[in-house]
Amino acid sequence: MKFKICTKCGEEKSFDDFHRDKNYKNNRTCWCKECTREQHREHYKQNRDRVIAEQKIYYSNNKEKILKRNRSYQLKHPRETWTTGTLHSHAKKYKIYISREELLSFVYDTDSCEICDCKLDWIRGKGKKGRLMRNSPTLDRMDNKNFLAPHNVQIVCAACNTLKHTKTMAEFIDYCKMIAEKFA
């Protein structure tokens, strides 16, 4: 393994701990990733409004390019994109007690709906215009509590999730039984 000394913190670290940059010797930046991140964080803290304004301008000037890049990332990494998006959208309403890595490990393990066993469409994800398809993967809180944790989430198809809605798993199963008995 190759090592390099960070000119900021002075620590010797492996090449993997430095960002790639063609402008530098050995194609690695002088500062390690950790120091670079710390610098970005500090800069953001002190120039918050300006940074946000600049990002907005950058986004509106490069909208097509950014969207295209996002789309190609999404096509190549559908499960990672789903995980990030799902955590992001749930963070607005729920407490999150599951790490991205934990959820991602479930995602890698789940090819079909945990309720009806239909094959989940990870590739297309949400489908056209961001509308959920029948077999789009969605996250279900099994007990309908207001938090996400490894023990209370399952990945189910959009159709099952819509049908289950705010019911707990036990309530949902009773509901299905009730209908099955009625029409038996």
Binding site for Zn ion (CB under 5 A): 6, 8-9, 32, 35, 113, 115-116, 157, 160
CB of 67 to Zn ion, least distance (A): 30
- The least distance separating Zn ion from the CB of residue 70, rounded to whole angstroms, comes to 28
Minimum CB distance to Zn ion smaller for 25 or for 92: 25
Judged by beta carbon, residue 10 or residue 146, the one nearer Zn ion is 10
**Helix (H), strand (E), coil (C) string for 128-178:** HHHCCCCCCEEEEECCCCCEECCCCEEEEEHHHHHHHCCCCHHHHHHHHHH
Q: Are 115 and 165 contacting, i.e. CB atoms less than 8 angstroms apart? A: no
Could you give the CA distance from residue 151 to residue 143 in angstroms, rounded to a whole number?
10
CA–CA dist 74, 84 (Å, integer): 11
Residue 155 pairs in a beta bridge with: 139
Taking the complex as a whole, the smallest distance from the CB of residue 113 to Zn ion amounts, in Å, to 3
Q: How far is the CB of 8 from Zn ion (least distance, A)?
A: 5
Shortest CB 81 distance to Zn ion, Å: 21
First to last CA, the chain: 67
Strands (E), the chain: 3-5, 12-14, 95-96, 137-141, 147-148, 153-157
Of 91 and 173, which CB lies nearer to Zn ion in the complex structure? Answer: 173
Neighbours of 71 (CB within 10 A): 11
Q: Which is nearer to Zn ion, 113 or 153 (CB)?
A: 113
Residue placing its CB nearer to Zn ion in the complex, 8 or 100: 8
